[in-house]
Amino acid sequence: MFGPPNLSPPLMHPTLQALLSLQEVDRQIFRVERELSALPEELARREATIAIRRNRLEELRREVFDTRTRIKEVEHLTSGRRQHQRKLEQQSMSGKADAALIASYEHEIRNTKRTIADAENDVLRMMLQVEEFEKEIATQAVTFAEEERVFNEFRSNVETETAAAEQRRKKLLTQRAQVSAGGIPPAQLEMYRGLLKTREGEALAELSSGICQGCFVNIPRNTVVRLARGTEFVTCPSCDRILFAYA
């Protein structure tokens, strides 16, 4: 059986050993913080999708309402035109009008009939539109109800997972404070924290076979020798991470 790797080789700088312990805690903190950031982002994305679906349903319902209102208006106007048509027909057949007036009545009656026919076609077209809108509303309503159910379930899970992640983060921050207080000089700690931000939670990188495992660039021989002495901090000339090497 092989034991765990030796994390404290004789020539490793003592501060570097402390930073390796701190790095492990910070790596976990970054994972938790990414989770805390991703959960509300995913929630917002899903909420936006639900809002789009809801708005589409509302838009379709407004279209139905507006179209039905327009149908009633056209039918009311058409009813008035039919009454006008009957009045013209009665006047033309009253026997009191001369030929010219009768011809004028007949011309107006023809125009009124065409207007009524056009209006009836418009009503039919709008009724077909309402029918199509209502079909789409029925389909969209089913889809929306299911998506809303899934979203509400996801939102509840997000609240639970966020609370759990916050608890993990709180414990890790306490652990980090304890490790940070373990004799790391302020200058090195500040340097480490700066790299932690710029390198997304990975301020240190192992040097293995002459290659930085943070950016996978070959490290110059003189840098490797400096690190082997264990007397100073050595950084990667490519990614600026603090280098370390196991025995």
Amino acid at 121: N
Strand partners, 201: none
Tens of pLDDT, residue by residue over 193-247, are 999 989 988 999 999 999 999 999 999 999 999 998 888 889 999 999 999 987 6
Tens of pLDDT, residue by residue over 26-65, are 999 999 999 999 999 999 999 999 999 999 999 999 999 9
Degrees, nearest 5: CA angle 63-69-75: 135
Q: What is the pLDDT of residue 247?
A: 62
Among 161, 158, 169, residue whose Cα is nearest residue 28 = 169
* pLDDT of 4 higher than 50: no
Q: What is the pLDDT of residue 11?
A: 59
* Structure-model confidence comparison of residues 100 and 135, the more confident one: 135
Give me the chain's average pLDDT, please.
90
* pLDDT of 79 higher than 80: yes
Tens of pLDDT, residue by residue over 119-152, are 999 999 999 999 999 999 999 999 999 999 999 9
* pLDDT of 3 higher than 50: no
What counts of helices (H) and strands (E) characterise the chain?
4, 3
Q: What is the pLDDT of residue 9?
A: 43
Give the ranges where the chain is alpha helix by DSSP (H). 14-92, 99-180, 186-198, 221-229
Contact 12, 228 (CB under 8 A): no
Tens of pLDDT, residue by residue over 157-196, are 999 999 999 999 999 999 988 888 767 888 888 999 999 9
* pLDDT of 94 higher than 70: yes
Mean pLDDT over 79-85 rounds to: 94
Percent of the chain whose pLDDT exceeds 70: 94
Instruction: Please give the structure tokens belonging to residue 243.
Output: 């280098």
Region of 204 (left: φ > 0; alpha: ψ -120 to 50; beta: rest) is beta
